[in-house]
């Protein structure tokens, strides 16, 4: 069985362009994949992940056999999110750009899944991520076009996501960007990105081109 985790991080819900592209990916991938497939969807804009509390942070650094009941309860959300990541073979993240970076929803999610001894560890050679052997696709939506050299330096979204994912061992990461959505007519650029997603699936799934025809 192939396990796919799809994470939406937009607060916009039905109006979310990144969310629409995630739905497009899921539909096309399901139609292309001939083996048994399990898709788990995590909507961070709908089911808000709590910000870290001092109790949760303290529990992160407490050995499992020394956790109090209150600490165990404070780790429940983090444990659930990490279990989803560990089970997934493919992780697909929808990330609208907010103020040159990621949404607060995704930042809070990242805070909850960065766990020393669980998703990363410190070694004599520096930090080592523990979530290895998985593929990640990040689909972004951006008001401006950050492929333009005049705006490229303001793109803190892709570098931050790539750095964080690499920190927890997710180094096999691809990005597909929906850019310039504030320009007015978005349908042509949405069509172009949907084509790019289809081409990605074709590379990802053997015989996908035939299945999608």
CA distances, 114 to each of 86, 107, 131, 178 (Å): 13, 11, 11, 27
What pLDDT is attached to residue 183? 82
What pLDDT, on a 0 to 100 scale, did the predictor assign at position 77? 97
Domain locations in the chain? 2-212
Q: How do residues 113-122 score in pLDDT, each as one tens digit?
A: 999 999 999 9
CA geometry: angle 70, 9, 143, nearest 5 deg: 150
pLDDT at position 207 is 56
Please check whether the domain covering 2-212 is classified as CATH 3.40.50.360. yes
φ and ψ at residue 127, rounded to 5 degrees = -65, 145
pLDDT at 206: 66
Give 208's pLDDT tier (boundaries 50, 70, 90): low
Per-residue pLDDT for 213 more than 80?
Answer: no
Separation between Cα atoms, residue 151 and residue 71, nearest integer Å: 44
What is the overall mean pLDDT for the chain?
Answer: 94
- Binning pLDDT at 50, 70 and 90, where does residue 64 land? very high
pLDDT in tens, 117-152: 999 999 999 999 999 999 999 999 999 999 999 999
For the residues of 188-206, what is the DSSP string, one character each?
Answer: HHHHHHHHHHHHHHHHHST
- Asked if residue 3 lies in contact with residue 40, where contact means CB atoms within 8 angstroms, the answer is yes
Non-local (6+) Cβ contacts of 41 within 8 A are: 6, 8, 26
Q: Residue 1: what pLDDT?
A: 76
Q: Has residue 211 got a pLDDT over 50?
A: no
Rg (CA), the chain: 18
- Judging by beta carbons within 10 Å of its beta carbon (0-12, 13-18, 19+), is residue 111 exposed, middle or buried? middle
Which residue, 162, 179, 158, is CA-closest to 171?
162
Residues 1-41 have pLDDT tens digits of 799 999 999 999 888 999 999 999 999 999 998 888 999 99
Q: Where are the alpha helices (DSSP H) in the chain?
A: 17-32, 54-60, 69-74, 76-87, 104-113, 149-152, 157-167, 187-204, 208-212
pLDDT by residue (tens digit) across 189-202? 999 999 999 999 99
3 CB-near residues (< 8 Å, 6+ apart): 38, 40, 87, 88, 89, 90
């Amino acid at each position: 069985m192939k396990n796919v985790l799809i994470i939406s991080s937009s607060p916009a819900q039905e109006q979310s362009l990144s969310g629409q592209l995630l739905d497009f990916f899921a539909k096309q991938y399901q139609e292309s994949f001939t083996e048994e497939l399990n898709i788990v969807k995590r909507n961070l804009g709908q089911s808000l992940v709590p910000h870290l509390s001092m109790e949760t942070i303290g529990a992160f650094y407490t050995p499992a056999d020394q956790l109090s009941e209150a600490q165990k309860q404070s780790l429940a959300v983090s444990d659930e999110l990490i279990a989803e990541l560990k089970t997934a073979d493919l992780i697909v993240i929808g990330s609208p750009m907010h103020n040159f970076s990621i949404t607060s929803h995704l930042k809070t999610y990242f805070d909850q899944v960065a766990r020393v001894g669980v998703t990363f560890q410190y070694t004599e050679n520096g930090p080592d991520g523990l979530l290895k052997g998985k593929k990640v696709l990040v689909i972004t939506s951006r008001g401006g076009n950050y492929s333009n050299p005049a705006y490229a330096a303001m793109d803190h979204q892709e570098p931050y996501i790539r750095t964080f994912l690499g920190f927890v061992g997710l180094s096999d990461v691809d990005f597909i960007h929906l850019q310039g959505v504030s320009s007015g007519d978005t349908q042509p650029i949405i069509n172009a990105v949907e084509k790019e997603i289809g081409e990605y699936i074709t590379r990802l799934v053997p015989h996908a081109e035939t299945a999608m025809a």
